[in-house]
């Protein structure tokens, strides 16, 4: 099993935009576990798309969270690193 994290926040114009996506496998062994997730955001492929998304306030984002959890198709997606999120698990 995996946990998929989608982080949203306001941009300069006050619109909610994606700040990062990430995924991590849930540990099976009992105990307390801490995992750090590297976050990333999709990038526009051309300067025109980049300008249009900035002008309209609509940045590129994934419509299906399965894209983040699966590796299939991600090799052709342009992404940018966007920080880290730390999660703690208490597994019984």
| Angstrom distance (rounded) from CA 90 to CA 92 | 7
**Calpha distance 7→5 (Å, rounded):** 6
| Whole-number pLDDT of residue 85 | 94
Task: Please write the tens of the pLDDT for every residue from 40-72.
Answer: 988 888 888 888 877 776 778 887 777 788 877
Summarize the confidence of residues 72-87 as an average pLDDT.
82
pLDDT at 33: 95
- How large is the average pLDDT for residues 9-23? 85
pLDDT given for residue 74 in this prediction: 65
Checking if the pLDDT of 24 tops 70, the result is yes
How many residues comprise the chain?
A: 92
Q: What are phi and psi of 88, to 5 degrees?
A: -110, 135
Integer Rg of the chain from CA: 15
The whole-number average pLDDT for the span 7-30 is 87
Residue 38: predicted pLDDT: 93
Domain residue limits, the chain:
2-55+75-91
**pTM summary value:** 0.79
Distance between CA atoms of residues 5 and 76, nearest Å:
21
């Amino acid at each position: 099993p995996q946990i998929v994290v989608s982080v949203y926040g306001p941009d300069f114009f006050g619109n909610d935009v994606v700040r990062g996506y990430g995924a991590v496998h849930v540990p099976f062994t009992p105990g307390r576990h801490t995992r750090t997730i590297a976050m990333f955001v999709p990038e526009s492929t051309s300067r025109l798309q980049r300008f249009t998304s900035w002008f309209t306030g609509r940045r590129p984002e994934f419509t299906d969270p399965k894209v983040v959890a699966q590796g299939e198709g991600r090799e052709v997606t342009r992404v940018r690193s966007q920080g880290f999120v730390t999660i703690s698990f208490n597994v019984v």
